[in-house]
Chain A
Amino acid sequence: MSAGAATCTPAAPAGAPRADLLRGLLAGAAPVLAVALSLALGAIFIAAIGEDPLAIYALMLRESLGTGYGLGQTLFKATPLIFTGLAVALGFRAGLFNIGVEGQLYLGGLAAGLTGMALAALPGAALLPLALLAAALAGAAWGAVPGALKARFGAHEVINTIMLNFIAFALASFVGRFVFEPATVRTADVGRGAVIPRLDVLLPALRGSPVNLSLLLALLVAALAAVLLFRTRLGYELRAVGLNAPAAEFGGISIGRTQVLAMALSGAIAGLGGVNFVLGYKHYFELGFSAGAGFLGIAVALLGRNHPLGVVVAALFFGALSYGGLVINQRVPKELVEVLQALVILLAISAQVLFERLTRRLR
């Protein structure tokens, strides 16, 4: 079963409620255990270079969650990961591995930036929704293409999404020739109406950190994704295609149409992730801004077990790890944080298999 469905309905119908509860707990425990183990292994690395692991971890924890500014930084870094994690998870739910989230995010940011710049004169009430729409549409288009290639020709989405990432990077550079500020790799600033306000306007405790209202948009999208997946006809069809395509076909579901739609939705969510940086932080599009947030989304989805709630939690964890890594940079090499991330991913996958075996025995 999906981890999420269990956590979603703790008040599961009678029957074997204890076994159900236990299974739900185990499903949730796997990622937690993976994180704990990877931190333990990371401690060995830290000790090996002569630092005190506990002190380093304490420093990371204090700086990434213990201060208003640090918390804001963590949330800022987590925001795009929520979007990209959701995008990957949505694909997985439909049985598709969308590795193109990076490119979709990138083009979403470009579209938001260009819209905000070109229509700068519009008031915020019109410009911001338009910029968001542009980001979502750009991502959706970039996702729908490999979806359609899969549905129509059976071309594997993994290959095509990887390839489309490269095309996205090149396309942005090409468009940049015409729109970038002279001798820079950035566009002009977006209009004031397109700027997404920072959260420290509302919560002074976060002062100085770049976290912005994109975070609330991310949480809203996560909630909508959960409703879509588990409460709507479309989500039902999407999951049926992902879990058993021949049965979905039996049930009158068009597999091809559902796959294209799932990829478009996945791309749209990824595209929206681009606004955190472009409209919420720098207020312009800049080459290379995505910085791997799309690829990290795959890890977020895995750790979050493809459930929107799990994705949010996993994104916060990776956000803290990412900002905490910057903080401890003076005392340990920054590669250590990358090693930690890799360990979490490896162990999350192994733990998942291990716990699936355990839960199977509970049947």
Chain B
Amino acid sequence: MPDPTPAVSLRHITRRFGPVVANDDVSLDLAPGDIHALVGENGAGKSTLMRILYGLLQPDAGSIQVGGRTARIRRPADAMRLGLGMVHQHFMLVGPLTVAENVTLGHEPRSALGRYSRAAAERAVAELAARHGLPVEPRARIETLSVGAQQRVEILKALYHGARVLILDEPTAVLTPQEVDELFRVLRDLQAQGTTIVLITHKLAEVTALAQRVTVMRAGRVVGGGPIAEFPVERMAELMVGRPIPPLHARARHEATTPLLEVRMLDVLDDRRLQAVRRVSFEVHAGEIVGLAGVEGNGQHELVECLAGLRAAQHGEVVIAGRICTTLPARGRFAAGLAHIPSDRLRRGLVAEMTLAENLVLGRQREPGVGRGPFLPRRALDRRADAVLAEYDVRPPEPGHRARQLSGGNQQKLIAARELTRGAAVVLAAHPTRGVDLGAIAFLHQRLLRERDAGRAVLLVSSELTEILALSDRIFVMYEGRLVHETRPAETDERTLGLYMTGRRGAATGTPAGAPEARP
């Protein structure tokens, strides 16, 4: 390492989970003021390593030095004291509390009488937010915020606690290109002020754009690393996966035919009872993938939940495969021909404590073909699962394992396996590849293309514009609850979409002109 005293030095870290070695003799030095990228597939051990550094896990062997001194980091509080901050992939926020309360939690500003000063906290957070260009409303409750906004709160929280080493776990997964630029600006500013940054990511282009050094992990070990100049994207990808990656299939364009999903003048409210979807109308035809791009929190979530029967429509109509479904509950929509890959796999998509076999029948548990009479014989479920798990390459393909034992990518494949084997006419895929490793992403993309080729109507909601551009036949951009732009992949690019997504270009083109504003 070039610097004689690294900001943080992890030495020979080993951590086992039962028979699995999550970290196998891993050593890593973070030079002060560097942006250091830590890349690897899900399950490679990146998160385990960072959780050890942050005191969430204890290593079985190895040591940690911070600023040249050996440190015992038994819990996150120790890490914070040492100037380490972490922004988790799954946010660690208290839902019912406000942004200001979450950011200041643990170090709340107090009034002269020693009581929590809400005004001071809100002022401090607003100031911090403005300084780092992270727009949040200090008084908003966390549970009412979009995933993107919650992430900004997480970053603010670490900064508020005085982090000098900032660990970011997949920070750009939910951001638009403009927001990514903004985040990178923030990170570069922080770096200029001497902050050391660890960026855990799958997106190798980001690594090249931002980091000075990279460490690549695979199967619990460091398989390569050094100055970024020595690691072009292809080399990093090969190291991560352990083999060359095939490029995405060229698309065999289908001409649109019959509409299978029809949405007319839809209004939907969010959890705060505010209007989140405004007079949205569109169609998805058989043999077509329609991409819905947008920054998180612009109504996509509410739109998808409404289409899936999990949230009521205030106005308008939803037609699935010719059947009006506006008031049908989720079960009725499955029957009408809907499959749904939900955006939050752990909250909606899976019952983590149930087995893979049991999870594969969620939503189908009442179908006559799935069980016998009132019974769901375990052996029948397991047999059914064997075939499906193999076909969808879920690893390990053990029907009796709990869903929570799977990696994120395999959990997502499990959900895809369940939903795409329904034989539904319409597929709603909400962020199908979020937080998923490269191999699984390629696999899930192939599957969605195959659904399209089989004549299904696919609505793909994603904040990954590369994904939207690569898979879609048509693209809509959603901004503040409206469809503001319709285009085709050949006619646009990430920059242009980004401008529409952030409201810097475009009027409502997806909604009929002059549609009256709905009042909830």
Contact = CB atoms under 8 A, between A and B. Distances in A.
A317 interface: no
Contacts of A240: 351, 354, 362, 365
A250 B378 contact: no
A19 B401 CA distance: 11
Given A234-B374, A251-B365, A243 B310 contact: no
Interface in B388-433: 396, 398-402, 405
Given A234-B374, A250-B310, A250-B342, A12 B329 contact: no
B19 A16 contact: yes
A247 B348 contact: yes
B330 interface: yes
Interface string A1-36: 110000001001111100110000000000000000
Interface in B273-318: 308-310
Contacts of A237: 365
B400 A15 contact: yes
Contact of B310 (A15, A232, A249): A249
B377 interface: yes
Q: Tell me if B's interface is mostly helix, strand, loop or mixed.
A: loop
Interface string A229-264: 011111111011001101111111110000000000
A357 interface: no
A247 B347 contact: yes
B398 A232 contact: no
Contacts of B17: 361-363
Contact of A231 (B334, B378, B405): B378
Contacts of B402: 1
Interface residues of A, number: 34
Nearest to B363: A251
A252 B331 contact: yes
A243 B403 CA distance: 12
Contacts of B358: 236
A247 B349 CA distance: 6
A9 B376 contact: no
Given A13-B400, A251-B362, A233 B371 contact: yes
Nearest to A250: B348
A240 B399 CA distance: 17
Given A250-B310, A361-B17, A363-B17, A14 B376 contact: no
B330 A230 contact: no
Size bin of chain B's contact surface: 35 or more
Nearest to B344: A246
B330 A250 contact: yes
Contacts of A253: 331, 365
B20 A244 contact: no
A113 to B, nearest CB: 33
Q: Report which residue of A230, A252, A361 has the largest number of chain B beta carbons within 10 angstroms of its beta carbon.
A: A252
A252 B398 CA distance: 25
Contacts of A247: 347-351, 362
Interface in B332-381: 332, 334, 340, 342, 347-354, 358, 361-363, 365-366, 371, 374-378
B520 interface: no
A195 B363 CA distance: 46
A12 B17 CA distance: 20
Nearest to B342: A250
Given A246-B348, A247-B351, A362-B18, A13 B382 contact: yes
Contacts of B365: 233, 236-237, 240, 251, 253
A146 B394 CA distance: 42
Contacts of B399: 13
A232 B348 contact: no
B330 to A, nearest CB: 4
23 contacts: A1-B353, A9-B400, A13-B398, A15-B400, A16-B19, A19-B19, A231-B375, A231-B377, A233-B365, A233-B366, A240-B354, A243-B352, A246-B347, A247-B347, A247-B348, A250-B362, A251-B330, A252-B329, A252-B332, A252-B334, A252-B363, A363-B17, A363-B18
Interface of A: 1-2, 9, 12-16, 19-20, 230-237, 239-240, 243-244, 246-254, 361-363
Interface of B: 17-20, 308-310, 329-332, 334, 340, 342, 347-354, 358, 361-363, 365-366, 371, 374-378, 382, 396, 398-402, 405
Given A232-B375, A240-B362, A244-B350, 11 more contacts: A1-B353, A1-B402, A13-B382, A15-B401, A16-B18, A19-B18, A235-B376, A236-B376, A247-B350, A249-B330, A250-B348
Q: Sorted from nearest, which 10 A-B pairs have the closest CB atoms?
A: A252-B331, A15-B398, A251-B363, A251-B362, A362-B18, A252-B330, A13-B400, A250-B348, A244-B351, A243-B353
